[in-house]
């Protein structure tokens, strides 16, 4: 599908983040609202819907390393398979097109993997992230999804426009999630457990950090906004070679401001790396009023 056609087909799912007006594709190159707020479709196919450029340590090098770990290693393989299976079960009785938002998608590789594993060909992915560097890389690498630079707190999604939301190791905005999800829409939130990336954390910060970490408060908050239907725990350890461990260090905020000696020791030590996460699965049910 051509880039402008992709936005034309799904423009009703978007809204202007400045005035909340509807958007239309004009001259195959811009999204424009009735108040003439204009968002150009870039050469690579993403749209920047931010009015400012936030400062961030998430840069091009980090996203390149993240992409290599997610796409070229099997570190997140089981996690992707579990999420895809949930989506396939949810969409099993429907052959209508479904929009799946990855909220906080980074450079888009998690979404690309999940949709690639899915058996449902009627899924269209939308990736949203604050980082222009991440979204630019996603648009260059993955042509089937829609990629948007935007703020989750004031998202460019129309009311009740998304069938599903995935939110993987990233902050949430449940008020916005409820607004943009269709009734009975699916939300999948992935949160780390105590042993997540423990080998890297132990190397950089010692073995006692976060050992008592629990997701009780996260789950409780999730249940205040959505009907929790299941929690799937994914615990998996994969052997990473030196090149992959280097990518892991470069992609992880855990390594920010860490001593080079500790980073080198982790990179040069042969070991498995653990993924330990809870997948919270919920539905956007209407609140019952007595």
Q: Confidence band (pLDDT; 50, 70, 90) for 81?
A: very high
pLDDT in tens, 215-236: 889 999 999 999 999 999 999 9
Q: What is the pLDDT of residue 152?
A: 94
Domains of the chain, with CATH numbers? 1-41 (no CATH), 46-195+210-236+275-283 (3.40.50.150)
Asked whether the predicted pLDDT for residue 288 surpasses 50, the reply is no
Of the candidates 111, 122, 213, 108, the one whose C-alpha atom is nearest the C-alpha of residue 163 is 122
Query: What confidence tens digit (pLDDT) does each residue in 239-280 have?
Result: 999 999 999 999 998 888 888 899 999 999 888 999 999 999
Mean pLDDT of 191-203: 93
Task: Label residue 162 by pLDDT band (50, 70, 90).
Answer: very high
How far apart (Å, rounded) are the C-alpha atoms in residues 288 and 267? 52
């Amino acid at each position: 599908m051509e880039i402008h056609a992709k936005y034309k087909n799904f423009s009703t799912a978007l809204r202007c983040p400045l005035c909340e007006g509807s958007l239309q594709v004009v001259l195959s190159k811009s999204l424009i609202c009735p108040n003439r707020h204009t968002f150009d479709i870039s050469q690579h196919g993403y749209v920047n819907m931010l009015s400012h450029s936030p400062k961030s340590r998430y840069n091009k090098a980090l996203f390149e390393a993240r992409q290599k770990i997610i796409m070229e290693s099997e570190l997140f393989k089981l996690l992707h398979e579990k999420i895809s299976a949930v989506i396939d079960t949810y969409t099993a009785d429907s052959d209508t097109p479904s929009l799946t938002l990855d909220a906080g998608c980074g450079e888009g590789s998690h979404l690309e993997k999940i949709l690639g594993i899915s058996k449902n060909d009627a899924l269209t992915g939308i990736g949203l992230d604050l980082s222009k560097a991440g979204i630019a890389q996603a648009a260059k690498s993955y042509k089937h999804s829609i990629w948007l630079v935007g703020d989750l707190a004031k998202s460019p999604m129309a009311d009740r426009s998304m069938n599903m939301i995935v939110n993987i190791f990233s902050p949430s905005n449940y008020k916005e999630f409820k607004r943009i999800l269709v009734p009975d829409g699916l939300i999948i939130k992935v949160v780390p457990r105590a042993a997540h990336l423990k080998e890297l954390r132990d190397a950089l910060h010692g073995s006692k950090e976060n050992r008592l970490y629990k997701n009780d408060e996260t789950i409780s908050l999730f249940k205040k906004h959505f009907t929790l239907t299941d929690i799937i725990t994914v615990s998996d350890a994969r052997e990473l070679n030196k090149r992959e461990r280097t990518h892991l260090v470069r992609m992880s905020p855990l390594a920010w401001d860490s001593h080079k000696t500790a980073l080198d020791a982790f990179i040069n030590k042969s070991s498995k790396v653990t993924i330990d996460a809870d997948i919270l699965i919920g539905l956007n049910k209407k609140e019952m009023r007595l």
